Structure 1
Amino acid sequence: MILRPAAFEGPDRPTISEAVKELLSADAVRTRCHDIMVAAEHDELVYFQWHPGEMAGIAAYVAAIIQKRFPNLRIPPHSRWRHFEALGHSLAPASPGEPRAEVARRAIDLVTPSVLLDAGTGRQWRYCDPRLGMLGRSEGLAAASLALFTSGALSANPDDPLRTDAERLSCCDDRVLAHAFQVGPDNPLVGLEERASLLRRLGRLLQDHPTIFGIPARLGNLFDHIAAHALDGCVRAPDILSLLLVILAPLWPKRLSQDGTGLGDCWRHPASRDGYVPFHKLTQWLVYSLIEPLEIGGLRVVDHDRLTGLAEYRNGGLLLDMGALTVRDRQLLVHPQPVGSELVVEWRALTVAALDELRGTVSRQLGAGQRFPLTLTELMEGGTWSAGRTVAACARSDGGPPLNILSDGTVF
């Protein structure tokens, strides 16, 4: 139940070393994050202290939230589609009789740029949705990206506005994005220019991979590529992640690289076995959000739990706000921190490792005899993301994260 090896090969795909392949994987995220947790358990980290005795209380809190929100424990997957559904947009045919494969393509056309734009907004930005009013952070970005898509701004075909074509992405400038995202002097969005640049790079990248995205290049054609390389209609989530990490590597700003390949959301920390700590947060978020489109197209996606929890501020904020993590110097909570700093890397890595622990503990607290354990995507959607938002709202007037991160709009 894997993608055929040819999914990773082809004349328009770069050759990458085995060392880079390993870092561009979910397994690398999990193992390196647990390396940082081992150092925390031995009180060897420079910036954070770990208090495992607090985890039982956090698990009980998360379990209570899950029971309140989903008393029947039928928890939908953690995905961008939950935000779209709240906005009144669901996975459904655009017209009667539309083929399942085309529904999947349109869904990929929508969700991929939305996820790639779903990085930190800063504390001031808001989006005014006509139905739901003022929305901030991830919810606001979902509404803005949905409006961008449904306006036809990403389609090169006026008769088929609900699609995302390389031709349009390649010419997406700051003004287009600023208009769609309601950005202005009184409503600044962190990383606006970099987000627009990312969309332009995405357009060029699609054109550079015709065997995946077709000629002319369309984002939704990714469905056909994955379907063609599935075995018996089945694909593994970690294989989709590895494929996307290789394909999308040129998207990200120039950070760490190895053997000439950019490593994306990957950073340095001395407690890791090889000095690298990858997170691949946005790309994992994208894979979680592609599962439903792929399945509506007729594929079956398995091994979700080989992916990891997401290293972002709601999950990580829960640990800080509820005392499982404390900083050795509280002044660090006040001063803005670079996203690649050792402090932020520790926080994100401990978040991923702690989510693995919480998954088992919360499952047990919800009771035996049910369909357990929870998947990681159920844990995040049902509990930790909502719990992190709730405790943040109690702890800070703006409901923002406990750490002030200097983001460029492309990380989380």
Structure 2
Amino acid sequence: MAPVNTETIDSDYLLSLRAVRERCFKVQEAAVKNKLQHFDIDESKMKDMVQLVVSLIKRDFEDPSKIPAHGCWRNFDAGNNLRIQTLINSWASLGIDPTEQTRRVLDLFVIAVLLDIDSNQSYSFCETSTNKTLKKRQGMAVAILEMFMAGTFSSNPNQPHQVDLKGLENLTIDNLLKGFKIDTASSLIGLEDRLDLLGHLVRALDRCKEYFPTENGQFPRPGNMMDYLLYHPKTIMTKKGPLIPVETLWPVVLEIGEIWTVEDTDSCKGGTFELGDVWRCTALGDEGQLVPFHKLSQWMVYSLIEPMEKLLGAVIEGTDQLTPLPDLANGGLLIDTGFITLKNQDYERGIENYRKNSLLPGQPKVEVAPMFEMSDPVVVEWRALTTAYLDIVADRVRATLKLNKKALSLSQLIEGGTTSAGRELAEISRPNTQEPPIVIKEYTPNKTHKSHTYT
């Protein structure tokens, strides 16, 4: 992918939530005009896609308004074990006030999101307290929770249940390998990159003292953002709790970083230098090709909102600016329903990429599927189509169920509808691995290419 001249772009706009939806819908407009470069669209499948999501919501939830929020909290509740609430209850029993409880959960959730790798099918984690084995992302979440409770991310031996700058500075890959109960980083491809991302968080905590205020000489914590939000001039304190604009939270989350944020052009793994998860999309022609996604940052916002609401009675205003996430389950939904189909030349190129990659040593055994690097124009177009069309699906699902956005939020619809649909179709279409219909190949400069699926 050609380098981007950052002097000619509106950085503030491309870093905004508004730009994500607007730019992705520009790609959707190209689809309507039959100007996509890499996918064909079958509009007749839209009805099937909507009906599938509706049927799963009806099957799994008697009252759609009770669907839980989309966020990392769900991964911690694996096996219907309410681990986070149990931890919160234990803090409350010790007299820890709700604000500090919230700081601690935010500490944990920030780390959980930054370490949220879509692990390969073979990863599992044996929970120490129950001796139960949990697979993939749920296993990873419980492993992170155990590390958090053991003080892996804290520099204060008297307070293990926190994440602070010094604790993160001391964190090593060996700490993570031990915590995830694995021998080598190859068991969780991308783990070293995620450790680098925690290093970026360290720099953000040190640099952005306004966002993470401290007192009494304590080290900054991610959860200190709660103090910044509570005392922000745009926050309104009501009898029920604080009213916080999402625009106040968004720049804090952007500073924390995302997988494509880089410190310099030499180490760039993709995206756009200093903008992160922003990519060229050839479907938009010669001008204005950049499309932002900020997927990891949005995933963090979705995740952080829930503890603020539950513990402090907060209302986060403007969450309708958030978009559907272009992750593999949602993207797979569009492909596995036949709504979008790779053009022949791209399908053949992807299969050839897969064949070459399968010959490399140490590659996992997966079902044959087209494979592309994250920066490939196929993947950029796929992610943009996913973001835009699932917005349309959401509106049609609500219309079918006769519910408004207040009764069925986008967060709930993603959690109880599109994500479930994408995962179940993957299980049916690729029963051996349950992987997505397109495999994303991780690229790390000066390292071996490995098959990996970033969310």
In 2, the alpha carbon distance for the partners of 1:234 and 1:381 equals: 24
Q: Which residue of 1 aligns with 2:173?
A: 174
Q: Name the CA distance, whole Å, in 1 between partners of 2:209 and 2:453.
A: 25
Q: Check if 1:360 corresponds to 2:395.
A: yes
Amino-acid identity (%): 34
Q: How many residues align?
A: 394
| Counterpart for residue 55 of structure 2 | 64
- On the 8 A contact 1:207/1:217 being kept in 2, the answer is yes
Superposed displacement of residue 57, structure 1: 0.8
1:65–1:383: 8 Å Cα contact kept in structure 2? yes
Say yes or no: does 1:271 pair with 2:283. yes
Residue 173 of structure 1 and its aligned partner are, at CA, apart by: 1.3
| TM-aligned CA deviation for residue 262 of structure 1 | 1.1
Match of 1:289 among 303, 312, 327: 303
**How far off its partner does 1:411 sit?**
5.2
- Shift, 1:256, TM fit: 6.3
SS at match of 1:262: coil
Residue range with higher mean Cα deviation, 179-188 or 99-108 = 179-188
Per-residue CA deviations over 1:308-353 (Å, capped at 9, x if unaligned) read 0101000111111111111112332534311111011111111100
Task: Find the counterpart in structure 2 of residue 381 from structure 1.
Answer: 415
Distance 1:158 1:195 in 2: 25
Structure-1 residue corresponding to 2:134: 135
Counterparts of 2:305 and 2:209, CA distance in 1: 23
Q: Point out the structure with max Rg over C-alpha.
A: 2
Please tell me whether the aligned partners of residues 75 and 141 of structure 2 are also in contact (alpha carbons under 8 angstroms): yes
Q: Distance in 1 between matches of 2:92 and 2:254?
A: 33
What's the offset of the Cα at 1:167?
0.4
Q: Which residue of 2 aligns with 1:104?
A: 102
TM-score (norm 2): 0.80
139-148 or 307-316, which deviates more: 139-148
| Runs of at least 5 residues in structure 2 that lack an aligned partner in the other structure | 1-6, 237-241, 263-267, 352-368, 444-451
- Ranges in structure 1 where 5+ consecutive residues have no aligned partner: 1-15
CA distance in structure 1 between the aligned counterparts of 2:202 and 2:397, rounded to whole angstroms: 42
User: What RMSD in Å do the two structures reach over aligned CA positions?
Assistant: 2.6
Residue of structure 2 in register with 1:228 after alignment: 231
Q: 2 CA distance for matches of 1:243 and 1:158? A: 28
Asked if structure 1 preserves the Cα contact closer than 8 Å seen for 2:333 and 2:425, the reply is yes
Q: The residue matched to 1:211 in structure 2 has which SS?
A: coil
Say if 1:314 and 1:385, in contact at 8 Å, map to a contact too: yes
Q: Comparing both chains, which one has the higher relative contact order based on Cα–Cα distances under 8 Å and sequence gaps of 6 or more? A: 1
Match of 1:203 in 2: 202
- Cα gap change, 1:57/1:249 in structure 2, threshold over 3 Å: closer, same or farther? closer
Q: How far off its partner does 1:228 sit?
A: 1.0
Letter in 1 for 2:100: E
Alpha-carbon distance in structure 2 between the residues aligned to 1:274 and 1:28: 12
* Contact 1:78 1:289 (8 Å CA) reproduced: yes
Deviating more after overlay: 192-201 vs 151-160? 192-201
Whether the aligned pair in 1 keeps the contact of 2:200 and 2:257 (CA below 8 Å) is no
d(CA) in 2 for partners of 1:23 and 1:60? Answer: 34
Q: How does 1:12-411 map to 2 (within 5 A)?
A: 19-73=10-64, 74-86=66-78, 87-91=81-85, 92-93=88-89, 94-96=91-93, 97-130=95-128, 131=130, 133-184=132-183, 188-213=187-212, 214=214, 215-229=218-232, 230-232=234-236, 233-246=242-255, 248=257, 252-253=261-262, 254=268, 262-272=274-284, 274-295=288-309, 296-329=311-344, 330-331=347-348, 332=350, 334-367=369-402, 374-396=408-430, 397-407=432-442
Taking the aligned partners of 2:279 and 2:231, their CA distance within structure 1 comes to 34
User: Contact 1:314 / 1:388 at 8 angstroms: preserved in 2?
Assistant: yes
Q: What code does the residue aligned with 2:45 have?
A: E
1:168 Cα offset (Å): 1.1
Q: 1:177: Cα distance to partner?
A: 1.0
Shift of 1:207: 1.5
Any idea what SS the aligned residue of 1:195 has? Answer: helix
What SS does the aligned partner of 2:279 have?
A: strand
C-alpha contact 2:37 2:283 (8 A) present in aligned 1: no
Contact 1:359–1:373 (Cα < 8 Å) also in 2: no
SS at match of 1:90: helix
Over 3 Å counting, the alpha-carbon distance change for 1:372 and 1:198 in structure 2 is closer
- Maintained 8 Å contact 1:178/1:192: no
**Letter of the aligned partner of 1:76 in structure 2?**
P
- How far apart are residue 98 of structure 1 and its match? 1.7
Q: Distance in 1 between matches of 2:259 and 2:52?
A: 40
Cα pair 2:280 2:291 within 8 Å, conserved: yes
CA drift at 1:41: 1.8
Displacement of 1:133 in angstroms is 4.0
Q: Structure 1 pair 179/404, CA: closer, same or farther in 2 (3 Å)?
A: same
Question: Which amino acid letter does the alignment assign opposite residue 275 of structure 2?
Answer: L
TM-score w.r.t. structure 1 length? 0.88
Render the CA deviation track for 1:116-159: whole Å, top value 9, x for unaligned: 11133244433333548443433232222222212210111111
Q: Which letter maps to 1:90?
A: I
Per-residue CA deviation, residues 160-207 of structure 1 (Å, 9 max, x unaligned), is 111001101112111111111222359711112111222122123212
CA contact (8 A) 2:258 2:296 kept: no
| 8 Å contact from structure 1 (residues 105, 221) kept in 2 | yes
Question: Structure 1's 110 and 251: CA in aligned 2 closer, same or farther, altered over 3 A?
Answer: farther
Residue by residue, what CA displacement relative to the aligned partner does 1:7-49 show, whole Å, maximum 9, x if unpaired?
xxxxxxxxx9992121111111111111111112222222111
Give the Cα–Cα distance (whole angstroms) in 2 for the partners of residues 134 and 407 of structure 1: 27
Structure 1 residue 393: Cα displacement:
0.6
Once structures 1 and 2 are overlaid, which stretch shifts more, 28-37 or 206-215? Answer: 206-215
Give the match's secondary structure for 2:83.
Answer: coil
